[in-house]
């Protein structure tokens, strides 16, 4: 069972990563910076628990704040541009963060060993869960508590005036501006919230893997973050969860014997989603059909 609990941990962390991109995509912005925020959260939480001796929960809170502040600082200049230039700018930011941690060296002595980030060799000794005797099941439940809390927050936002403003900006910026919406404020706030969610995911990732390094936050991670809400659809947060389960549990783990062929299948899935189901596989029509089937509602 430990294998399945471990897989559920992976799915939970990637769900947070996907949800961090989901909130940004609602505004119509395509950002590849999520891997950078994910890395900031991972290193921040790891340093607080390992070097400062903090409990993981407040460390995750600080990692969310640091990542959100980073996202806010990036958002103001980056979101003034659109389209391909925004993709390039956010990709450059993500790679800049990765290279920063490749050169980041900060260790302190604990007994006879030194602990902390060591540049290209990564950050080892992130042992909060093993040191406190947590089982694989307990770690999985801990991760999914945060996933459910974030999902509940985004579900509530979707049904609030703020969520309506996010979608209005994503649908038509000129119309949104015409009714008095501040485009910059809305876009930056979405980027900030997405950065905070990515920071929580990164902190959890660092502690369940116990070892992180700069290569853990490459362009593939940023692509995954963007792909989940695109494949699942932006109609609901549940689409992102379904996409993560399909990609990570079925495509990556279930078809492990196919080796690198899985990359082609993943690419084909994105192409199919963008051409055949541009609003995602769980779009409004699909969700309405599911509600009729499982909710017993009247058929149209």
pLDDT for the residue numbered 58: 97
Has residue 284 got a pLDDT over 70? no
Segments forming the whole domain that contains residue 68: 2-217
CB-based contact 128:120 (threshold 8 Å):
no
Q: What is the pLDDT of residues 35-55, one digit of tens each?
A: 999 999 999 999 999 999 999
193 found inside a domain? yes
112 found inside a domain? yes
Question: Residue 167's pLDDT band (boundaries 50, 70, 90)?
Answer: very high
274 found inside a domain? no
69 found inside a domain? yes
115-129, 150-164, 201-215, 263-277: range with lowest mean pLDDT: 263-277
84 found inside a domain? yes
CA atoms of 66 and 47, how far apart (whole Å): 13
> Which two three-digit tokens encode residue 62?
């600080």
Distance, CA of 299 to chain centre: 36
pLDDT for the residue numbered 254: 74
80-89, 136-145, 253-262: range with lowest mean pLDDT: 253-262
**Which residues of the chain form beta strands (DSSP E)?**
108-110, 113-115
pLDDT for the residue numbered 93: 92
The whole-model pTM stands at: 0.91
CA angle 32, 146, 202 (to 5 degrees): 40
User: Is the CA virtual torsion 237, 43, 216, 68 positive or negative?
Assistant: positive
Q: What is the pLDDT of residues 63-88, one digit of tens each?
A: 999 999 999 999 888 767 777 888 88
What are the C-alpha distances in Å from 15 to residues 2, 82, 166, 198?
20, 26, 20, 10
Cβ-proximal residues to 3 (8 Å cutoff; 6+ apart), any chain: none
- The pair phi, psi for residue 261, each rounded to 5°, is -60, -20
pLDDT for the residue numbered 111: 78
CA atoms of 46 and 63, how far apart (whole Å): 9
Buried b (16+ CB within 10 A) or exposed e, 66-98: bbbebbbebbeebbeeeeeebbebbbebbbebb
Q: What is the pLDDT of residues 87-135, one digit of tens each?
A: 888 999 999 999 999 999 998 888 788 889 998 899 988 999 999 999 9
231 found inside a domain? no
Q: How many domains does the chain have?
A: 1
CA atoms of 243 and 263, how far apart (whole Å): 16
Instruction: Quickly list DSSP for 2-61.
Output: HHHHHHHHHHHHHHHHHHHHHHHHTTT-----HHHHHHHHHHHHHHHHHTS---HHHHHH
222 found inside a domain? no
Has residue 192 got a pLDDT over 90? yes
287 found inside a domain? no
């Amino acid at each position: 069972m430990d294998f399945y609990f471990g897989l559920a941990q992976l799915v939970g962390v990637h769900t947070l990563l996907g949800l961090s991109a989901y909130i940004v995509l609602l505004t119509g912005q395509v950002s590849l910076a999520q891997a950078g925020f994910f890395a900031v959260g991972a290193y921040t939480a790891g340093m607080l628990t390992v070097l400062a001796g903090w409990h993981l929960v407040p460390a995750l809170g600080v990692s969310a704040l640091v990542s959100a502040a980073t996202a806010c600082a990036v958002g103001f200049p980056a979101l003034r541009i659109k389209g391909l230039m925004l993709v390039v700018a956010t990709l450059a930011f993500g790679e800049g963060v990765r290279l920063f941690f490749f050169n980041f060296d900060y260790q302190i002595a604990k007994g006879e060993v030194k602990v902390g980030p060591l540049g290209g060799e990564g950050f080892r000794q992130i042992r909060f869960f093993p040191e406190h005797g947590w089982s694989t099941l307990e770690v999985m439940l801990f991760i999914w508590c945060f996933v459910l809390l974030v999902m509940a927050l985004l579900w509530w936002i979707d049904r609030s005036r703020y969520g309506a403003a996010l979608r209005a900006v994503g649908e038509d910026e000129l119309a949104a501006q015409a009714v008095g919406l501040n485009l910059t404020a809305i876009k930056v706030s979405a980027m900030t919230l997405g950065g905070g969610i990515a920071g929580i995911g990164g902190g959890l990732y660092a502690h369940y893997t116990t070892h992180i390094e700069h290569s853990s936050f490459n362009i593939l991670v940023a692509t995954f973050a963007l792909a989940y809400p695109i494949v699942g659809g932006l109609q609901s947060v549940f689409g992102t969860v379904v996409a993560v389960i399909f990609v990570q549990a079925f495509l990556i783990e279930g078809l492990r014997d196919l080796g690198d062929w899985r990359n082609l299948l993943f690419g084909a899935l994105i192409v199919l989603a963008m051409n055949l189901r541009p609003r995602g596989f769980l779009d409004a029509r699909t969700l309405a059909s599911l509600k009729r089937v499982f909710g017993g509602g009247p058929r149209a």
